[in-house]
Amino acid sequence: MHRVRPRGTPVRRTARLSGLVAWRGGHPHAEHLGTGGRAQGPARTRLDPRRRVRLRSSAQPDFDGTALAARGLVVVTLNYRLGFEGFGHVPADGEGPASPDNRGLLDQIAALEWVRDNIAAFGGSPDRVTVAGQSSGATSVACLMVSDRARGLLHRAVLHSAVNACATPGRATRTTAEVAAAAGVPATRAGLLAASPQALVAASDRVVDRYRQDPRSGQRHYDPAIYGPVADGDLLPADPLEALAAGRGAEVELLVCHTTEEYWLLDAVGSSAKITTGQQLATFAADFGLPPQLVDGYRSRLPDARVPDVHLALYGDLLFAEYSSRLAEAHARAGGRTFLSRFDRRRGGPGRRVRAWHCADIPFAFGNLHDESVHFLTDGPPGPADHELSHRMAGAWAAFAAHGEPGWAPLGGGAGGAEGATVRVWRTAGEEARASDGFRDLWGAAGLPLLAP
């Protein structure tokens, strides 16, 4: 709830910064927003399959920018406020004005303003700023693209697995009431300011746990995330998908990627509800307003899949893959230069635990396969084919940031959207090609509901 402090001027240093910022004269600049949910919880530096993955720090090894810097980029990674501190609604009252809902986005804008004013001191180009993010970080980048407050601060954007989650003011207000009640304080500015950050974290966790334990609680039961960007009509005019479709941010060049089996990671780390029966699957679809024929389509195309796998395929596309693809297509239809790709690298045959799941593409794009902490994502140490794939992906990132050309054709505009356009599919050499469009035709018929955290 605290305001963004004025950015400072950097002191020039001659010592080498270990992977956070690398600078070389006259090069483009890339900034990365990390991944992870906007729920409360401790930041972790390793993926542990026994724990929920909710927050991640830009200091994690898989976000180390050294490999990208070696390709001529100046790389900056940043952190921003999460949970209630970053996105909780604080109402106005007689003792003071309302706090802005999107304080986490304001942190990101403050960082971009600092980059604009100071990156030249590190050899970067303030007129060639590429902002990249993954998961909730990707959604943040999409929000920045369409926000007037961020106009001119970014020139290219990279979105990996943007999450379908943007709150309305009413939804944010109701969440505040729930959290305040759990914290034992009034849902007023004075009441919320009286609660410590630790108390708000604990209260948020209690609210999340209630949703998780109550199968009658609707959408929030399945993977409770109660905070996210708020379409307040000020900083954020609308859900990024709607805003891009209306032509906002068309001047920003865009590269979008998602994995083909997003949600299996969330299941592996115990973040989501277990759906094991056909009735539970039908209830899940009804809770999200998905038509029965969409579920039937998934089941018919996955005839040998168990119900849990059908659910994970459906939920992953609802939250990440279809939303990310539609962001790209909306941007292209509005005249924006847009590139779309999918990450489909897998290990082993059927039954293997590691898939092309959420976050698996990040160490490949950053060129950080060597670090042991990412081997949970990649099923052990990388082989030569993995290094070759990483070389191609990191090269595409660097080329896009430098020249706006990742190495394949952009999506077409017009009513046909991406029809007939090139979509890059990232696989290791020798992997069997699978249908690159997955279930997209089913979503075209069913429509995609826009979700709120």
Other residues' Cβ atoms within 10 Å of the Cβ of residue 12? 8
Which DSSP helix (H) or strand (E) runs through 131? strand 124-134
Looking at per-residue pLDDT, the higher value among 200 and 63 belongs to 200
Check whether 392 has a pLDDT greater than 90.
yes
What tokens were used for 201? 């974290």
Q: Is the pTM higher than 0.85?
A: yes
Lowest mean pLDDT segment, chosen from 84-93, 191-200, 246-255, 376-385: 376-385
Check whether 21 has a pLDDT greater than 80.
no
CB 418 within 8 A of CB 412: yes
Q: Point out the residues that are catalytic.
A: 135, 262, 358
Residue 12 counted as domain residue: no
Rounded Cα distance between 170 and 186, Å, is 17
Rounded Cα distance between 244 and 266, Å, is 28
Structural domains in the chain (count): 1
Secondary structure of residue 42 in the 3-state scheme = coil
Convert the pLDDT of each residue in 182-207 to its tens digit.
Answer: 999 999 999 999 999 999 999 999 99
DSSP string of 225-287? -----B--SSSS-S-HHHHHHTTTTTTSEEEEEEETTTTHHHHHTT-S----SHHHHHHHHHH
Looking at per-residue pLDDT, the higher value among 418 and 443 belongs to 443
Secondary structure of residue 123 in the 3-state scheme = coil
Residue 401 neighbours by CB under 8 Å, 6+ apart: 28, 29, 30, 73, 128, 130, 156, 158
pLDDT, position 19:
26
Rounded Cα distance between 78 and 57, Å, is 8
Range of 273-277, 351-355, 410-414 with top mean pLDDT: 273-277
Residue 160 counted as domain residue: yes
pLDDT, position 346:
84
Convert the pLDDT of each residue in 294-353 to its tens digit.
Answer: 999 999 999 999 999 999 999 999 999 999 999 999 999 999 999 999 999 987 655 556
Amino acid at 37: G
| β-bridge partners, 75 | 30
Check whether 37 has a pLDDT greater than 70.
no
What tokens were used for 257? 């990627």
- pLDDT band of residue 389 (cuts 50, 70, 90) is very high
Residue 261 counted as domain residue: yes
Rounded Cα distance between 36 and 211, Å, is 19
- pLDDT band of residue 279 (cuts 50, 70, 90) is very high
Residue 3 counted as domain residue: no
Residue 31 neighbours by CB under 8 Å, 6+ apart: 75, 76, 77, 78, 111, 112, 115, 129, 130, 131, 132, 154
Check whether 137 has a pLDDT greater than 50.
yes
| β-bridge partners, 157 | 131, 254
Residue 237 counted as domain residue: yes
Residue 270 counted as domain residue: no
Of the chain, the end-to-end C-alpha distance in Å amounts to 19
Place of tokens 């209306």: 246
pLDDT, position 418:
46
- pLDDT band of residue 14 (cuts 50, 70, 90) is very low
CB 443 within 8 A of CB 360: no
Give residue 64's domain range: 27-165+227-265+319-446
Place of tokens 């005839």: 303
pLDDT, position 46:
31
- pLDDT band of residue 13 (cuts 50, 70, 90) is very low
The residue ranges of DSSP E strands in 136-220, in sequence order, are: 156-160
pLDDT, position 445:
96
- pLDDT band of residue 438 (cuts 50, 70, 90) is confident
Mean pLDDT of all residues belonging to the chain: 86
Rounded Cα distance between 176 and 90, Å, is 7
pLDDT, position 348:
64
Residue 10 counted as domain residue: no
CB 390 within 8 A of CB 374: no
Residue 74 counted as domain residue: yes
Rounded Cα distance between 22 and 89, Å, is 37
Other residues' Cβ atoms within 10 Å of the Cβ of residue 428? 20
Residue 248: give its domain's CATH number. 3.40.50.1820
